[in-house]
Structure 1
Amino acid sequence: MPDHIADRSGLRGDCARCFGLCCVALPFAASADFAVDKPAGQPCGNLRGDHRCGIHTDLRRQGFTGCTVYDCFGAGQKVSRITFGGQDWRGGPKEHARLMFDVFPVVRQLHELLWYLTEALSLPAARPVHAELRAALEKTERLTGRTPGELAALDVAAHRQEVNVLLLRTSELVRAGVRGKKKDRRGADLMGARLKGADLRGACLRGAYLIAADLAGADLRDADMIGADLRDADLTDADLTGAFFLTQPQLDAARGSAGTRLPESVTRPVHWAARL
């Protein structure tokens, strides 16, 4: 696959090049993930004047775990530096700030799709749909380059549905290469499930609720992980080799160990070291 397709460096958040958009545009509610309530469009109380977080190194201890497992997939710097040409939301007209806050979540969704499409194109088993995937990737890239007004009006849900058809086909092709009967747990409620050592190789876990599930030692090789909720799931010594459509935010929300085997597309979360 060409290097420009395989490269996903631009699909990772770069806070140094962003105007702290996730800390302003998005709402959050007081919960186990956030210490306080904050409405959309209002800056977080921890956001400094230079758009940096004042408690970045202490977020978990101060009750902002939700911030540590969030990734904009590079949408923050795209909106800040390209879509709005480096024009800050501070000090300008309210209409400018409001439009920027409306555009940010749209571009974030588009960048997430770019992440999945890029990964799909790296999977040899998906070769029968590579041409369609490449066309979808190029279309999605073009959409991210639209004007602020066009992006705010974009029916991103319809585009996601178009792309999802291809991602589903990709999943079927990849998992078809796994021997034996593959478990279909798409959208399943597996909260707190006891799946220690479970054979989930080649399983479809799309959108499954695996919150606080015990997946210690589970075989998750070649499993479709798109949208699976892994908050507080125990992945100690689990094998996720070849698991696809797994994102860093999903992994950051889980618990794991030095023995957890991961695909090359993600990195071992720093906070897992505390459990070693």
Structure 2
Amino acid sequence: MPTSRAPLPLPVLQADCTACFALCCVALPFAKSTDFAVNKSAGTPCGNLREDFRCGIHTRLRDSGFQGCTVFDCFGAGQQISQVTFEGRDWRAHPDTRAAMFEAFPVMRQLHELLFYTSEALALPAAAPVHADLRTALAKTEALTRADAATLVALDVPALRQEVNALLLRASELVRAKSPGRRKNHRGADLMGARLSGADLRGANLRGAYLIAADLRRADLRGADLIGADLRDANLRGADLRDALFLTQAQLNAARGDTATRVPTTLTRPAHWAA
């Protein structure tokens, strides 16, 4: 089995809303649904946004119909755009920055997401054969995060993602090969509502799988690759997610768990999970 994940070497990959100009509340659109109580177009401030760039209903987002906000993670892209790319000039005091700032933010988020995954892969001893290439990809991606807004907007993000993803997949294969038993391949599978209670999913490939409302109670997901897996409303009560590969805080926040759910030490048990 893979060893416990080491702390991420790049603390900038953790969102710091106090250093951001509420970009996720303005730049991104959302549609009225079970995740959002209203419609909002891209570039329009959310009606709950205060003048100090803080959310007026932050402590009651779920009760107010804004569950989608509680599962979003910019991986630190917000403060990077706000404090580095635009050098602390906010879009209210400097309206000329609005268009470029809002267009560059989604690009930066994808770059920071790639940095998050690459950093994790570099912390996995079993992935050592691909570490040199991962370090090169990390340096390249990190350099791009320091580019100006025009360069960010013109970046071919899909090509970069494909390049980095090939390395992440190789790292995943090396780590999962050490998992015991037959490793299941459910990559991109439609497992919405699937009954997987108590399932042995150690070392499984669940990349991009649809696990919406799946019953994963007491399932063993150690060493499973969960990159891009949709865990909205998945029942993780009693599940073992220690050493799950590429699991994010946003995925945990979107799922349902309890105090018996075992999570990686690098992540935090969501406050809304059952006791």
Q: Please give the TM-score of this superposition, normalised by the length of structure 2.
A: 0.96
Aligned pair 1:73/2:36, yes or no? no
Q: How far off is 1:8 after superposition? A: 3.4
Distance in 2 of aligned mates of 1:21 and 1:161 = 26
Equivalent position amino acid for 2:191 in 1: L
The answer for the alignment partner of 1:17 in structure 2 is 19
Secondary structure (helix, strand or coil) at the match of 2:103 reads helix
* Aligned match of 1:106: 107
* Partner Cα separation in structure 1 for residue 237 and residue 109 of structure 2: 30
Residue pairs, 1:1-276, within 5 angstroms: 6-94=8-96, 96-272=97-273, 275-276=274-275
Partner of 1:271, secondary structure, is coil
| Higher RCO by CA contacts (8 Å cutoff, separation 6 or greater) | 2
* CA distance in structure 2 between the aligned counterparts of 1:88 and 1:241, rounded to whole angstroms: 40
CA distance in 2, matches of 1:76, 1:171: 28
Q: Distance in 2 between matches of 1:239 and 1:59?
A: 28
- Output one character per residue of 1:200-237: Cα deviation in whole Å (capped at 9) or x when no partner: 11000000000000000001010001000000000000
Q: 1:85 is aligned with what amino acid?
A: E
d(CA) in 2 for partners of 1:70, 1:235: 19
1:47-91: CA deviation from partner (whole Å, max 9, x where unpaired): 001100000001000000000111100000000000000111114
- 1:241: Cα distance to partner? 1.4
Which amino acid is 1:75 matched to? A
**Distance in 2 between residues matched to 1:146 and 1:39, nearest whole Å:** 27
C-alpha deviation, 1:178, in angstroms: 1.1
Report the Cα distance in structure 1 between the residues aligned to 2:153 and 2:170, rounded to whole angstroms: 29
Kindly state the Cα deviation for residue 266 of structure 1 after the two structures are TM-superposed: 1.0
Q: Is the 8 A contact 2:180 2:202 kept in 1?
A: no
Supply the distance in 2 between the matched residues of 1:8 and 1:71 (Cα, whole angstroms). 16
Q: Whole-Å Cα distance in 2 between the matches of residues 235 and 43 of structure 1?
A: 34
Task: Name the SS for the 2:229 alignment partner.
Answer: coil
1:264 shift after superposition: 1.7
Give the length in aligned residue pairs: 270
* CA distance in structure 2 between the aligned counterparts of 1:17 and 1:193, rounded to whole angstroms: 41
CA shift, 1:179, in A, is 2.0
Q: Per-residue displacement from partner, 1:130-176 (whole Å, max 9, x unpaired)?
A: 00000000000001011111011111111001000000000100000
Aligned equivalents of 2:140, 2:12: Cα separation in 1: 17
Q: Which runs of 5+ in 2 are unaligned?
A: 1-6
What SS does the corresponding residue of 2:272 show, helix, strand or coil? helix
Give me the CA root mean square deviation: 1.2
Taking structure 1 as the reference length, the TM-score comes to 0.96
Given residue 117 of structure 1, which amino acid in structure 2 is its aligned partner?
T
Point out where structure 1 has 5 or more consecutive residues left out of the alignment: none
